[in-house]
Amino acid sequence: MTKMFIQNALTKFFAWFDSSSVETGNDASEAVDWFRVIPFILMHVACLLVFVVGWSPIVIVVALFSYFIRMFAITAFYHRYFSHKTFRTSRVCQFLFGLLGSTATQRGPIWWASHHRRHHRYSDTDRDMHSPRKGFWWSHMGWFLSTKHFVTREQWVRDLIKFPELRFLDRFDIVIPVLYAVALWGLGKWLEIAFPELGTTGWQMLIWGYFVSTIVLIHCTLFINSLSHVWGNQRYKTGDDSRNNGFLALITLGEGWHNNHHHYPVSARQGFYWWEIDISYYLLKLMSWCGLIWDLQPIPASRLNSNRWDEGEKA
């Protein structure tokens, strides 16, 4: 019994560094795997260190930028590119997009896409892994803290697993966040030495730029699972509970237009109308002008006004 316990503990410990060391099936437990999620818990605790390290104007600016650029990486690349292929790009840019998205500490692009694609296939049914119909806690965090949804469901991402560089990001999904955190600490330490008048330290930059920014980023992303299916309005009859919410769209750079998205998931633009602010789409459009991406998929005119709750409305 003791030997088995030690083996299980070691397996879960190594899973912190190599996600391929864990294999689970559809019959795996939906209970929270508390040992495996210790790092996630400690990240929340680390945010309390703001009361120890203090703050400076520049670390707040860096924290906000860190949030913004990584939220863009999640919504534009993890979601609109890897999950839905709403535009095309080169293999080099694809890897760089995955690399940037990995800094958000939301695991690798293949894992992320595999679960999101399944969510769309079974949205708000018993087979949807994070429907709010199963409760707010489960839809917000419980699903990915469980053993059952730890592994990548490869049958949903055959187009992505053929790239070894993306598989590397998935397998060693802790590497890039750690390097990102170290780089932020190094930036703060350099500013501390080179420009002491700024009042910035390496530890301030680490706590604010990585831990606080990351935890806020993670929960704002998760609000799309938990709140965007209960809070807002429905323009389209999508057969699920997806909602449009302008506030969530602002804090997630466009993801809050969730009912729009479920109506036509392959559109690169989720704010279908000019008044629906979609910052990620604006930046993607800019990238297309620079030649970094191309073939941004629009919402066809035939779909824009189809299957609406108010079929006669002309927006």
pLDDT in tens, 261-279: 999 999 999 999 999 999 9
Confidence of residue 313 (pLDDT cuts 50, 70, 90): very low
φ/ψ bin of 122: left (φ > 0), alpha (ψ from -120 to 50), beta (otherwise): alpha
Residue 143 pLDDT greater than 50, yes or no? yes
Confidence of residue 285 (pLDDT cuts 50, 70, 90): very high
What is the per-residue pLDDT across 207-227, written as a single tens digit (0 to 9) for each?
Answer: 999 999 999 999 999 999 999
Asked if 241 contacts 227 with a C-beta cutoff of 8 angstroms, the reply is: no
What is the per-residue pLDDT across 18-40, written as a single tens digit (0 to 9) for each?
Answer: 777 666 655 567 888 888 889 99
Confidence of residue 44 (pLDDT cuts 50, 70, 90): very high
pLDDT, residue 60, reads 97
pLDDT, residue 22, reads 67
Q: Is the dihedral of CA 262, 111, 105, 190 positive or negative?
A: negative
Residue 314 pLDDT greater than 60, yes or no? no
Residue 311 pLDDT greater than 80, yes or no? no
pLDDT, residue 4, reads 63
φ/ψ bin of 248: left (φ > 0), alpha (ψ from -120 to 50), beta (otherwise): alpha
What is the per-residue pLDDT across 64-96, written as a single tens digit (0 to 9) for each?
Answer: 999 999 999 999 999 999 999 999 999 999 999
What is the per-residue pLDDT across 83-141, written as a single tens digit (0 to 9) for each?
Answer: 999 999 999 999 999 999 999 999 999 999 999 999 999 999 988 889 999 899 999 99
pLDDT, residue 19, reads 78
Mean pLDDT of the chain: 91
Closest to 136 (Cα-Cα) out of 213, 219, 46, 248: 219
**pTM to 2 decimals?**
0.92
Confidence of residue 315 (pLDDT cuts 50, 70, 90): very low
Question: Would you give the DSSP letter of residue 308?
Answer: B
Angle between helices 91-102 and 164-171 (to 10 degrees): 10
The secondary structure of 224-255 as a DSSP string is HHHTTTTSSB-SB--SS---B-HHHHHHTTTT
